[in-house]
Each structure stands twice: as structure tokens, then as C-alpha cells.
């Protein structure tokens, strides 16, 4: 079963391919995505990496949390499930 990891404090120069390539050092990567601003298309500085299994996910956390990549010290931990946010229409 795959496990999704949150990766924060990404450099704006980091792209999805380089993120996937870096995390492949810890094990098999199912997917990597960087969240982008919907107006500018620029990275918002965080993303998600989905590792194939729990062991590789833990290894990635141990290997990359607090490690400097592209000049930025990453924050890596298990992603929390999305929650419903209140409407902004009020």
C-alpha cells in the first residue's frame, strides 16, 4: 500500500521530475507533485511524494527531513488527509 508524504519548504527551482528523482534514493516512488499557484503557475513551495510502501516512506522521511535540497532545508512527514474547509462565500 502506498503512503503519501508532505514535502515542504521546496525551492521554487525544484520541479516534479527532480523531486521524484531525489526521493527515488529512498525507494520506489509512485508519484511526485508540486502544488502551484492557480494564477501565476509558480510553485507554492510544497508538494507531495507518494512512496510505494510504508518502509520506503519511512526511509524517505528519515533521509530527507531537515536535509538541504536546492538550497532549502526540507520538511518531510506523513501527509494528513484532506479535510473539508468552510465555504468562503460568507
What are the pLDDT digits (tens) for 2-26?
Answer: 899 999 999 999 999 999 999 999 9
What's phi and psi for 65, nearest 5 deg?
-65, 125
Query: What is the set of domains in the chain, with CATH numbers?
Result: 3-77 (3.30.70.330)
Question: What is the distance between the alpha carbons of residues 81 and 10, in angstroms, rounded to a whole number?
Answer: 20
pLDDT digits (tens, 9 = 90+) for 32-42: 999 999 999 99
Rounded to two decimals, the pTM is 0.88
Q: In terms of Cα–Cα distance, which of 7, 70, 73, 11 is closest to 42?
A: 11
Dist. CA 63–CA 71, nearest whole Å:
16
pLDDT given for residue 1 in this prediction: 76
Q: What is d(CA 23, CA 12) in angstroms, rounded to the nearest whole number?
A: 17
Amino acid at each position: 500500500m502506498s503512503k503519501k508524504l508532505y514535502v515542504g519548504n521546496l525551492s521554487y527551482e525544484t520541479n516534479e521530475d527532480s523531486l521524484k528523482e531525489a526521493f527515488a534514493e529512498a525507494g520506489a516512488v509512485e508519484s511526485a507533485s508540486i502544488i502551484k499557484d492557480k494564477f501565476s503557475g509558480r510553485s507554492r513551495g510544497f508538494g507531495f511524494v507518494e512512496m510505494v510502501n510504508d518502509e520506503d516512506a519511512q526511509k524517505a522521511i528519515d533521509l530527507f527531513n531537515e536535509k538541504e535540497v536546492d538550497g532549502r532545508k526540507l520538511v518531510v512527514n506523513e501527509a494528513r488527509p484532506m479535510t473539508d474547509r468552510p465555504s468562503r462565500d460568507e
